[in-house]
Structure 1
Amino acid sequence: MDKEKKTAGRQSIPMERIENPEDRYTTFSKRRSGLYKKANNLVEECGVDIGIALFSPAGNPFSFFHPTPNLILDPVENPNIELSESTKLVAAYARNNVNQTNSRINEIETIEEGVKSQMLLLEQLNKTRQIDSYKCIDQFKADDIIKYEAWLQSVVFGLENHLKQLGNGASSSSEAPSDNADNSPSASNE
C-alpha cells in the first residue's frame, strides 16, 4: 500500500508570504524560536554582541539582546560616540552572569548524565543480581528487619540530600556516606 505523507517534513519551504493568518502566526512562532536559538549559538560560539527585534503578525514585539539592549542600540543610534563606562560595566556584568549561568547549566547537565549512567548501571545490577532481594518479609528475623529499615532510611536520606544539592547547585556532598550506605542487608540464612 502506498500511503501519502501528511507533513512536509524537513523540506525547504519557499520564502513567500503566507496568506492564511493562522498559518502565518504559527510559522512566525516556530521561526522566531529558531532565530533565538541561532542568535544564542552565535553568542556562545563567537562571543558576539547581538540584537534581534521582531513584531508578530498580531503586532506584538519580541526581542533578543546580548548582553544588553543599550550596548547594542547605542552604537547604532550614535556611531561616533564611545560607550560610557557604566554601560561597559553593565555589559561586563551581564556577560559574566550569562557565562556563570551557562557553566552552571553545563555542570547540571554533566551531573544529570552521571546520574543517568548510574541509574542504568543500577538497573543492570538489579537484573543480574543473584541474591533474591525481594524475599518474603516472613523469612526476615527481627534484627534483619531493623537493619533493612535503617538501610532504607539511609538511602532515602541520601537521595533527599542529593536532590537538595542539585537544587542548590552544590556539586559535592559535605557529608560522609554512612557505613552501610552501599551494602544492602539481606536476610540471614541461619
Structure 2
Amino acid sequence: MSKKVTKGKKKVEMKEIENDVTKLTTFSKRRLGITKKASELATLTGAHVAVLSYSPAGKPYAFGSPSLQSVTDRFLGMETSHFKGNTGPMVGAHSQSRINSLNQEIDQLNQKLEDEKKKGKIMKKKLQGVERNGWWEVKVEHLQKPDLLELEKKFKELYIQLEHSKFCNKKSGI
C-alpha cells in the first residue's frame, strides 16, 4: 500500500489579485467566511460584532450583531442601545436572548444549506455517471436505499415495456 504524498499546507503570498473575475470570486467566498465567523463569535460569546466591507466593484456589505447601527453607535460613543432607558433590564435580557437564539438558528440553517449543497454535488456526480453509461449500468454497490428502490422501479417499467413489445410482436406475426 503506497502512502499518499501531498504538498501539505503552504504559505500563500499576500499580494493583490490581478484578474478581476478571480478577485470578485475570492472576495465573495472570503466575505461569506468572515461573516459566518463573526456570527459565531457573537453567538458564542455574546460580543457585539460589526463587519463592514466593500467589494472590488464598490458594493457595500455589512454584518452586525445585535445590529450594525448599535455597534457603530457604541464604538463612536453615542450609545443609544435598545436595552437601556425605559425598557428595563428584563426586556433587554429577553431581547438579547432572542437575538442569540436567532443567531444560532441562522447558523443551523447555514449548516443545513452546506449539507444540501454537498448532497447536490454528490447527486450531480451520480447523474453524470448515469448519463455516460445509462441508468441500467450504474454500480449498485454505491447506491443508497432510495436510489436502489428507484432503480428497481425503472427495471420493472422496462420489463413491462418489453413484455408489451413481445406481445405486440406476436400479435403482428413478427
Could you say whether these structures have the same fold, taking a TM-score greater than 0.5 normalized by the shorter chain as the test?
no
Instruction: Tell me the TM-score range normalised by the shorter chain.
Output: 0.3 to 0.5
- Structure 1 length normalisation: TM-score? 0.41
**Which structure features the higher share of helix residues?**
2
